[in-house]
Structure formats: C-alpha cells, structure tokens
C-alpha cells in the first residue's frame, strides 16, 4: 500500500533510497557512508520485530507493537510500509518531509517493497539496489549473523531471490562483494566529482 504524500518541494534536499535483500550489507554500507558524510540524515524506520542483540531503540529502529504500527498506517503517518516475514517495517513520514524541506539530503535504508512504493511517490529519488555477489554468499552472511534460525534464513533467501528480480527498477545497482569498493561506488553515485 502506498500512502499519498505531497509532491517534491522547491529547494528540498535529495531523497536517497538504499535497498536490497536482507543480509546484503546495507547497514554496513550506511554506517561507512555516514562516517564519511555526517550531514546526511538517516531516517530511522519503525518495525514490529523484536530487537536483535546490540540494537538500540531510536537508533537502529523504533520497535513498536503491531497494533501501534497498524494505527500509524490508518493515520497515514508512514511514507512507506511493508510486511516482511510476518513483521511490519515502515518509514515515519513527518521526519523525512521536514528534513527534505530544510534542504537536507535524507537516506532511507528500507526493504525492497517499501523502496518500490517510495519510487512511485518520489520518482526523482536517487535509488540504489545493493546486490550480493551470489545467493550462496548471501546465505553465508545470514548464517554468520547468528541472529535467526535455519528456517528463517531459508525464508530470507527465498525472499531475496524474488527481490533481486526487481533490481532493474532502481537507478543504480551495486554488488557488495568487497566492502571498500562498494562504499566507493556508493560515494561516486551520491557525490560525483
């Protein structure tokens, strides 16, 4: 479902959408990018899933109940949202629009379904799809995280294979094989010389 939003605003910042399958390294790329570009505003998503070890409320996600998330949907307070492996994920709308209106660049690190919604609402967004070198590499990365059961990993890999088919819908694609190279490609897209 897509939530209607106001169109592009004069003098607004750039909306940057980074997406790709679970375990592809989006979070690591974002961490490196933010170290190099501290003025970039990272939007914090809301989710109904339980926090993983070391995840901090309001930094990694806003961890909320399913009921609260459904209220946000009903009230039109989400820029995008998706249900992924039985949990909701979404982007609170107000903070993003406020930052864009100030001229700040805003980065969304979001699930593929949500990224496709944002692209419909903000066709001028810079969209970047992160790909794994292979599904077997992705499987190894998911197992190394040690945060999910083998059954969940299998579901994530099945979903990843389906999500990868949408990569051509996005303006840019980066294969995250060597981290330094992937970061350099991301920087070149967002801040060309």
What's the whole-number mean pLDDT along residues 132-143? 88
Q: Considering the domain boundaries, does residue 7 fall inside one?
A: no
Q: Considering the domain boundaries, does residue 2 fall inside one?
A: no
pLDDT tens string 40-72: 999 999 999 999 888 999 998 999 999 999 999
Q: The domain containing residue 60 runs over which residues?
A: 15-190
Q: Considering the domain boundaries, does residue 10 fall inside one?
A: no
Q: What is the pTM of this model?
A: 0.85
Q: Considering the domain boundaries, does residue 128 fall inside one?
A: yes
CA-CA-CA-CA torsion for 5, 6, 10, 13, nearest 10 degrees?
Answer: -10
Look up the CATH number of the domain holding residue 88. 3.40.50.300
Q: Considering the domain boundaries, does residue 76 fall inside one?
A: yes
Q: How many Cα atoms within 13 Å fall on the side-chain side of residue 10? A: 0
Number of domains the chain contains: 1
Q: Considering the domain boundaries, does residue 65 fall inside one?
A: yes
pLDDT tens string 164-180: 999 999 999 999 999 99
Q: Considering the domain boundaries, does residue 172 fall inside one?
A: yes
| 14 class by beta-carbon count within 10 Å (0-12 exposed, 13-18 middle, 19+ buried) | middle
Q: Considering the domain boundaries, does residue 99 fall inside one?
A: yes
């Amino acid at each position: 479902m897509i939530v209607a939003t106001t169109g592009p605003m004069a003098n607004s910042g750039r909306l940057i959408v980074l997406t790709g399958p679970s375990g592809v390294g989006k979070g690591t790329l974002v961490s490196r990018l933010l170290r190099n570009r501290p003025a970039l505003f990272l939007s914090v998503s809301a989710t109904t899933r339980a926090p993983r070890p070391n995840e901090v409320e309001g930094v990694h996600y806003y961890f909320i109940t399913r009921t609260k998330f459904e209220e946000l949907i009903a009230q039109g307070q989400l820029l995008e949202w998706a249900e992924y492996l039985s949990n909701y994920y979404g982007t609170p709308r107000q903070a993003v629009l406020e930052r864009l209106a100030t001229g700040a660049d805003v980065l969304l690190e979001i699930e593929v379904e949500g990224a496709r919604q944002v692209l419909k609402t903000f066709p001028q967004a810079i969209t970047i799809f992160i790909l794994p070198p292979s599904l077997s590499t992705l499987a190894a990365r998911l197992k190394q995280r040690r945060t999910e059961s083998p059954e969940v990993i299998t579901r994530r890999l099945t979903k990843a294979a389906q999500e990868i088919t949408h990569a051509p819908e996005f303006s840019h694609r980066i294969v995250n094989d060597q981290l330094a190279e992937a970061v350099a490609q991301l920087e070149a897209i967002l801040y060309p010389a």
